[in-house]
Amino acid sequence: MSRLDIPRIPYIDGKWWHVGNNPDLGGIISEKQVVDHCFFQAANEKWQLWACIRYTKVGRIFYRWQGDSIEQRNWTPMGIVMRSDPKYGESYGHSPGDEMLQAPHAIKEDGKYYMFYGGGGSPYAKEVKKENQICLATSLDGINFTRHKSADGYSQIFHGPGYARDPMVIKIGSQYLCYYCGNLEQKNWQGVVALRTSFDLINWSEYTIVSTGGSPGYHASSAECPFIIFLEGYHYLFRSSSYAPPRNHVYRSKDPMNFGIDSDEKKIAFLPAAAPEIIQIGKQFYISTVTDLKGGIQVAKLGWYPPL
């Protein structure tokens, strides 16, 4: 085994600190819960935290915080940054007026920011509630985003299987891989980590399943918020199965399209984190977590054994 081909095991290295506390939403406050989220640096070099806040009086919305560094405590609340727009085919949730935006995730390619997110029921689905969609918005500064517009005028880039949500995109070679959570209607809404590929971030392949079952189970929330990193010859999948208590399962594979079906053969760790993002700055890794649903977002250092 070469020096750059070392299987490592991640662990939480020290205490958590708050970066995004549960914000004041003014007139739409209800039993709010800060859940799926993402981190990225805008063109102004400020760190951005976007998160889905659910159970507001209008449904699910996106909120933004800004910080000077990942290790800064209590970032500045910047306000509501996006809400559902039916003009772009973003449907509402379980009842009229229940807005549905989920799980933002941003990457930067060739000077342009791409924000992927769940946009509620697909306008193309025969039964809207059974086929949720993944949507896209773009930005040149990482602050002001404009929705992608398809030939039909929609922000959707693909939909399904089932309640498609929690997209995460990584580039391997010249190809982009979008991992996300889906549910199989024909198998009692079994949760799966699905994968689609693209060469332009707009047109995506049909899906394939890269992880399901094993110790996280087969329930609808057993494969949520997938996050992939590549480290020294291996791909690591972080897969969530619960917010409360926080449960995240880590799988390691040489093949980014196979982390185990109905098996824990590739599982290497369990982490007490919910819907985590992994942030790398130089050789230092960080991991985020949802804090007991009503407490906001926390971050901690992520260590590796053997050490990097």
Task: Give domain status of residue 38, yes or no.
Answer: yes
229 falls within a domain: yes
Residue 1 within a domain: no
What's the CATH code of the domain at 244?
A: 2.115.10.20
Q: Give the whole-angstrom CA distance, residue 227 versus residue 116.
A: 13
Q: What gap in Å lies between CA 44 and CA 78, rounded to an integer? A: 15
Determine the average pLDDT of the residues in 152-169: 96
Q: Count up the domains in the chain and report the number.
A: 1
Q: Is residue 4 part of a domain?
A: no
The answer to whether position 222 is within a domain reads yes
- Tell whether the torsion through CA atoms of 195, 303, 291 and 263 is positive or negative: positive
Residue 2, in any domain of the structure: no
Confidence of residue 26 (pLDDT cuts 50, 70, 90): confident
In a domain, 63, yes or no: yes
Q: What range does the domain containing 65 cover? A: 9-305
Q: What is the mean pLDDT of the chain?
A: 93
d(CA 225, CA 79): 23
Extract the tokens encoding 296.
């906001």
* pLDDT over 90, % of the chain: 83
Reported as a single tens digit per residue, the pLDDT across 60-88 is 999 999 999 999 999 999 999 999 999 99
Q: In terms of Cα–Cα distance, which of 268, 207, 262, 263 is closest to 234? A: 268
Beta partners for residue 299, in sequence order? 17, 288
In a domain, 83, yes or no: yes
> What's the predicted TM-score (pTM) here?
0.95
Given pLDDT bands bounded at 50, 70 and 90, which one contains residue 180?
A: very high
